[in-house]
Amino acid sequence: MTRVTVIPGDGIGPEITQAMTEIVEVSGVKLEWDYVYAGLKVYEETGELLPESVFESLEANKVAIKGPMTTPIGKGFRSANVALRKRYDLYSNIRPIYRYGKTPAIFGDLDLVLFRENTEDLYAGVEEQISEHEMHSIKIITRESSERIIRKAFAYAQQTGRRKVAVVTKANIMKLTDGLFLDIGREVAADYPDIQLQEVLVDNMAMQLVMNPKQFEVIVTENLYGDILSDLMAGLIGGLGLVPGANIGEDMAIFEAVHGTAPDIAGMNKANPTALTLSACMMLDYLGEAEAAKLIRQALDEVLSDEEHFTADLGGTLSTTDFTKKVIAAVERLK
């Protein structure tokens, strides 16, 4: 039986993890969940943010699903999420923005996929204090990391019958770093004559996405721009409770929702488990369990087609557990 590492994480993590595992189990797929614990709570108890047990489990299973983990703002430890992505070179961060059901979406149905470089840029954490009043952060962009994510985006576009890839940079200002990323985008695009390259500056992209998002199909960008744009794009289909994500490297993959720990609703049975459940669907596809993934997506589409089934983030009143029951019932009906 396939063993999957499960990291419930902080905040709403444990609640949505519980919901996600129940939904996956009812789909009939046989997985063994290998629970390990990391994040702020573990840090407060043990002094370790990512205990050795997490690495052992990940290295044995090579596939994981995780809830969000808290990162203190401004000071304190660096992000455990970023640390995992860097340690295992999980360079492709894939975030599909697809509207299921009738979620409150400004432009109606939407189908966009964002590819975010996941290991470098300002996230490399190369920061230094020059004086009390001057801090530097170094932006690192390499050919190797840029090319592999851009190639993934173009290959994905081709495999899924999409016809456009937007390469998003600020190459007019950061001529060396973003200039390199854009140059590589142009080189890779030359290998895909059937796919249209859209060169878009990140500030313009922010506006285009909220005015006319349907002009895009696949977007590829650097780490920080991708982080910001994917939250913006989540807003186009009803919010962060709905958008899944995958962090994929050469021989390991960690699936997680785009959202964070949602401290404002943690422990209140209010969180929307859709994003993590869709992340599990991406994991099932990765594991060759496409039928189960399709079944769960159909069930979510059905449940989210009725406003009566919405959780609070979508303007409804259903609790996490009641929403989960609706999805489980739909999976059982569709099986």
Stretches 106-114, 117-125, 137-145, 264-272: which one binds ligand NAD (CB under 6 A)?
264-272
**If binding is defined by CB under 6 A, does position 68 make contact with ligand NAD?**
yes
**If binding is defined by CB under 6 A, does position 15 make contact with ligand NAD?**
no
Q: Which is nearer to ligand NAD, 171 or 283 (CB)?
A: 283
**If binding is defined by CB under 6 A, does position 302 make contact with ligand NAD?**
no
Question: Residue 142 and residue 224: Cα distance in Å, rounded?
Answer: 15
191 is catalytic: no
The one catalytic residue among 191, 203, 306, 322:
203
Q: Are 270 and 311 in contact (CB under 8 A)?
A: yes
Stretches 49-57, 95-103, 208-216, 267-275: which one binds ligand NAD (CB under 6 A)?
267-275
The answer to whether the Cα torsion of 280, 272, 111, 302 is positive or negative is positive
Q: Which is nearer to ligand NAD, 265 or 293 (CB)?
A: 265
Size of site (CB under 6 A) for ligand NAD: 21
**If binding is defined by CB under 6 A, does position 259 make contact with ligand NAD?**
yes
Residues 92, 272, 277, 324: which binds ligand NAD (CB under 6 A)? 272
Please list, residue by residue across 264-292, b when 16 or more beta carbons sit within 10 angstroms of its beta carbon and e when fewer do.
ebbeeebbbbbbbbbbbbbbbbebebeeb
Residues 6, 23, 65, 69: which binds ligand NAD (CB under 6 A)? 69
203 is catalytic: yes
Beta carbons within 8 Å of 68's beta carbon, 6+ residues apart: 9, 10, 11, 12, 13, 81, 256, 257, 259, 260, 261, 262
Which residue sits closest to ligand NAD, CB atoms considered?
A: 260
Q: Are 65 and 6 in contact (CB under 8 A)?
A: yes
User: Which residues are catalytic, by number?
Assistant: 123, 170, 203, 227
